[in-house]
């Protein structure tokens, strides 16, 4: 078997590095291991896609890195290093130091703009608040900056809409307002957590195009979270696939989409509609994800995997290098890539 990869300190071309991140959430039923041994790097001006089904740990990972998980009942361990705070573990930041980092250096767009925006505050006031958090500007300059931001994200008649409330905007316009607030201080890292959820396909494309344009104009690094592999494939330089709180595969987009090596990734890709090979049914992944309370040792995908053997259920899972910057959490990755390995996979 290939030797496991050890992740080092932040490199010159990186803006963020996460090592062995664990996030636990205490519930009435027990402690949930929502994020379990997640490690990755984010390069400068890169878009990293994070994909996986609901409950896989995508959003919790982003919220943990932003310091937004409620404590208690949640707590985290691990190392998170940011190029703008050399020598500091971001998980140890508290109070004012954490507030100075959020917004100015790391920012986040949430998947539900109606919940993220204050319903009783005018939109312009909320953007001004985001500007004032990290810039010493007078009222007139704050107002001008807020207007520029709304105009920059494509809000029509921005001067007039500054006085409107969130409920007076459509879903797509509310998402644009959130983006304006997120980029108010030109952060180095932007976390976009399912930014097109509940939007129709035309508006989705507009929002994604806007994010891509802003990322390029500002030179930001971005972590784009989605359950939509099509969106991830179109937008991202590299892709991390999450399952049951863990990253199970990480590679550049081209490699992961053409030569996936984890059975879960392969199953996800096989379940996508294909216009060239239409059939009545799409392959599905049998079973359900495991509960993350009292997690048993071994590969978490093994109970649903067509290639699993007894050793998989006891294997101490780790990310293994299977190619140039291609990591996979599977001891049978060679068999998974073999032609015909999935002929017996169950169908709906």
Specify which residues 38 forms β-bridges with. Answer: 21
* pLDDT tens for each residue of 25-82: 999 999 999 999 999 999 999 999 999 999 999 999 999 999 999 989 999 999 999 9
Lowest mean pLDDT among 9-18, 61-70, 218-227, 326-335: 9-18
Burial class (CB in 10 A: 0-12, 13-18, 19+), 197: middle
pLDDT at residue 255 is higher than 90: yes
Structure confidence at residue 6 as a pLDDT band (50, 70, 90): very low
Burial class (CB in 10 A: 0-12, 13-18, 19+), 80: buried
pLDDT at residue 267 is higher than 50: yes
* pLDDT tens for each residue of 149-195: 999 999 999 999 999 999 999 999 999 999 999 999 999 999 999 99
The mean pLDDT value for 295-307 works out to 90
pLDDT at 4: 40
Phi/psi of residue 143, nearest 5 degrees: -65, -40
pLDDT at 278: 60
What tokens does 233 get?
């494939």
DSSP code for 168: G
Reduce the secondary structure of 88-144 to three states and give it as a string.
Answer: CCHHHCCHHHHHHHECCCEEEECCCHHHHCCCCCCHHHHHHHHHHCCCCCCHHHHHH
Task: Give the separation between CA 242 and CA 249, rounded to whole angstroms.
Answer: 7
Q: Which residues touch 145 (CB under 8 Å, ≥6 apart)?
A: 128, 131, 135, 137, 184
DSSP code for 163: T
Task: Please provide the distance, in angstroms rounded to a whole number, between the alpha carbons at the two ends of the chain.
Answer: 34
Using left for φ > 0, alpha for ψ between -120 and 50, and beta otherwise, residue 42 falls in beta
Lowest mean pLDDT among 98-102, 105-109, 279-283, 333-337: 279-283
Q: Greater confidence, 135 or 242?
A: 242
pTM to 2 decimals?
A: 0.91
Task: Give the separation between CA 105 and CA 101, rounded to whole angstroms.
Answer: 5
DSSP code for 212: H
User: Angle formed by the axes of helices 171-182 and 201-218, to 10°?
Assistant: 10
């Amino acid at each position: 078997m290939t030797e496991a990869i050890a992740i080092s300190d932040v490199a010159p071309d990186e803006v963020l590095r996460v090592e062995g991140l664990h996030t636990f959430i205490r519930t009435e039923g027990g402690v949930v291991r929502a994020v379990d041994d997640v490690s990755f790097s984010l390069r400068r001006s890169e878009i990293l896609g994070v994909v996986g089904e609901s409950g896989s740990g995508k959003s919790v990972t982003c919220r943990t890195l932003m310091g937004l998980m409620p404590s208690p009942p949640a707590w985290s361990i691990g190392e998170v290093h940011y190029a703008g705070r050399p020598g500091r573990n971001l998980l140890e930041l508290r109070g004012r130091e954490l507030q100075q980092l959020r917004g100015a250096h790391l920012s986040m767009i949430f998947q539900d703009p109606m919940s993220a925006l204050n319903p009783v505050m005018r939109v312009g006031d909320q953007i001004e608040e985001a500007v004032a958090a990290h810039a010493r500007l007078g009222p007139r300059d704050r107002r001008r900056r807020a207007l520029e931001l709304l105009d920059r994200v494509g809000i029509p008649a921005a001067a007039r809409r500054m006085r409107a409330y969130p409920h007076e905007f459509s879903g797509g316009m509310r998402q644009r307002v959130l983006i304006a607030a997120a980029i108010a201080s030109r952060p180095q890292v932007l976390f976009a957590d399912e930014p097109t959820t509940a939007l129709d396909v035309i508006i989705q494309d507009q929002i994604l195009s806007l994010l891509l344009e802003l990322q390029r104009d500002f030179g930001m690094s971005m972590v784009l979270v989605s359950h939509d592999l099509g969106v991830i494939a179109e937008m991202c330089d590299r892709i991390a696939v999450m399952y049951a709180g863990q990253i199970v595969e990480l590679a550049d987009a081209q490699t992961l989409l053409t030569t996936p090596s984890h059975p879960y990734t392969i199953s996800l890709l096989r379940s996508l509609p294909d216009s060239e090979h239409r059939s009545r049914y799409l392959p599905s992944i049998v079973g359900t994800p495991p509960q993350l309370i009292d997690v048993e040792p071994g590969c978490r995908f093994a109970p649903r995997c067509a290639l699993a053997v007894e050793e998989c259920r006891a294997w101490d899972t780790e990310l293994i290098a299977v190619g140039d910057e291609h990591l996979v959490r599977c001891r049978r990755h060679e068999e998974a890539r073999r032609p015909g390995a999935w002929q017996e996979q169950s169908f709906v």
